[in-house]
Amino acid sequence: MTNEEIISRLEKTLKSSRLGHSIGVACTAANLAMCHDVSLISKAFRAGLLHDCAKYMKDDESIEFCDKHDIELSKYEIAEPALIHAKMGVFVAKNDYDEHDEEILDAIRWHTTGRANMKMLEKIIFVADYIEPFRKILPNLDEIRAKAYKDLDKCVVIIYENSISYIREKGRCMDPTTLEAYEYYKK
Ligand SMILES: [Fe+2]
Ligand SMILES: [Fe+2]
């Protein structure tokens, strides 16, 4: 599928604000690739467009969808269904968008929690999702945006610090992958 075909398909399933966010992530990811690894520019754009391609279902529909398609869910994903769209995104990207590039699929898979020792494209999408231009203003966003173009690993650490304190403040369930990854990048 071309990027234009992806966008017109996304237009049919996502809310317009989600589509705007996805385009924001795609452009930001391509820019980050220009800065950190030029060989990833077009994959970064594509992964950015697709990263939230499954984010159009309600919580119970997501759980049903996974059940129907044999997508295994952890107890953390069941407790925090907002996490599920990353795993489901891999399925939807393959089946509805004919995307089979492993690097792109991994970037979609890990964009919500990140993970220890992320590949460059995974890191780019993880960061771009947080800093894209249409993102609501979050604590230290200016600093995080500047850091993203200077030191991607340090930027990942600051994003984790923010996310972990947000999850704790709200009393939400934390996927252990998040903590593991934070410990990994802090070192
Ligand atoms: Fe997402
Ligand atoms: Fe997103």
Q: In the predicted model, what is the mean pLDDT of the chain?
A: 96
CA-to-CA distance for 96 and 47, rounded, in angstroms? 14
**Which ligand does the CA of 132 lie closest to?**
2
Those residues whose beta carbon sits under 5 angstroms from the ion ligand 1 are: 52
Which candidate, 155, 182, 154, 152, places its Cα nearest to that of 167? 182
* Distance in Å, CA 186 to ligand 1 centroid: 23
Counting every residue, how long is the chain?
Answer: 187
**Which ligand does the CA of 125 lie closest to?**
2
* Distance in Å, CA 138 to ligand 2 centroid: 15
pLDDT value of position 139: 84
**What pLDDT, in 10s, does the model give residues 57-102?**
999 999 999 999 999 999 999 999 999 999 999 999 999 999 999 9
* Distance in Å, CA 110 to ligand 2 centroid: 11
**What pLDDT, in 10s, does the model give residues 7-23?**
999 999 999 999 999 99
Residue 172 within a domain = no
Token pair, residue 5, equals: 């075909």
Residue 168 within a domain = no
pLDDT value of position 173: 86
Those residues whose beta carbon sits under 5 angstroms from the ion ligand 2 are: 52, 129
Q: How confident is the model at residue 166 (pLDDT cuts 50, 70, 90)?
A: very high
User: At which residue do the structure tokens 């952890």 appear?
Assistant: 74
Residue 148 within a domain = no
Token pair, residue 99, equals: 């995307």
* Distance in Å, CA 106 to ligand 1 centroid: 13
14: CATH: 1.10.3210.10
- Phi/psi-derived region of residue 58, left when phi > 0, alpha when psi is between -120 and 50, beta in every other case: beta
**Which ligand does the CA of 23 lie closest to?**
2
Residue 82 within a domain = yes
pLDDT value of position 137: 85
pLDDT value of position 138: 86
Residue 160 within a domain = no
Q: What's the total number of domains in the chain?
A: 1
Supply the range of the domain harboring residue 23: 3-136
User: At which residue do the structure tokens 């800093």 appear?
Assistant: 131
* Distance in Å, CA 52 to ligand 1 centroid: 5
Residue 158 within a domain = no
pLDDT value of position 136: 87
Amino acid making up residue 54: A
Residue 185 within a domain = no
pLDDT value of position 11: 98
- In the predicted model, what is the mean pLDDT of residues 163-176? 92
Residue 34 within a domain = yes
**Which ligand does the CA of 24 lie closest to?**
2
**What pLDDT, in 10s, does the model give residues 30-48?**
999 999 999 999 999 999 9
Q: DSSP for 113-153? A: T--TT--HHHHHHHHHHHH-TTSPP-TTHHHHHHHHTT-HH
* Distance in Å, CA 184 to ligand 2 centroid: 23
